[in-house]
Amino acid sequence: TGKVEIVSMNHGFAVRSDSLPANAEETHVSLFDGSNCGLRLKDRPVFSVQHHPEASPGPQDSHYLFTRFVNLIRARKGQELLPERAMREAS
């Protein structure tokens, strides 16, 4: 996306991007060391990040992750999805 998020990270391991299966896509990369910091499965409603997506208070750069998670649940239940900006506007 070309976007930069300010996040809190504390990890002692990383997933090698070249080890991801064909159905996985790297979604986040550390600007510090180039390590993988997020992925999603293309054929399943699964995603992860290796940082602390703040809910509030604090940085709100990663609020879209909460909206994405809620929308995965809503989609499964056949409910109306939230717009991507919904979590930012609610805070």
Q: What is the pLDDT of residues 35-71, one digit of tens each?
A: 999 999 999 999 998 887 765 556 677 778 888 888 9
Work out the burial of residue 31: count CB atoms within 10 Å of its CB; fewer than 13 is exposed, 13-18 middle, 19 or more buried: exposed
In 1-45, beta strands by DSSP E = 24-29, 36-41
Return the higher-pLDDT residue of 53 and 87: 53
Domain count of the fold of the chain: 2
Q: Are residues 46 and 60 in the same domain?
A: no
Q: Are residues 67 and 36 in the same domain?
A: no
Q: Are residues 33 and 72 in the same domain?
A: no
Q: Are residues 16 and 44 in the same domain?
A: yes
What is the model's pTM? 0.65
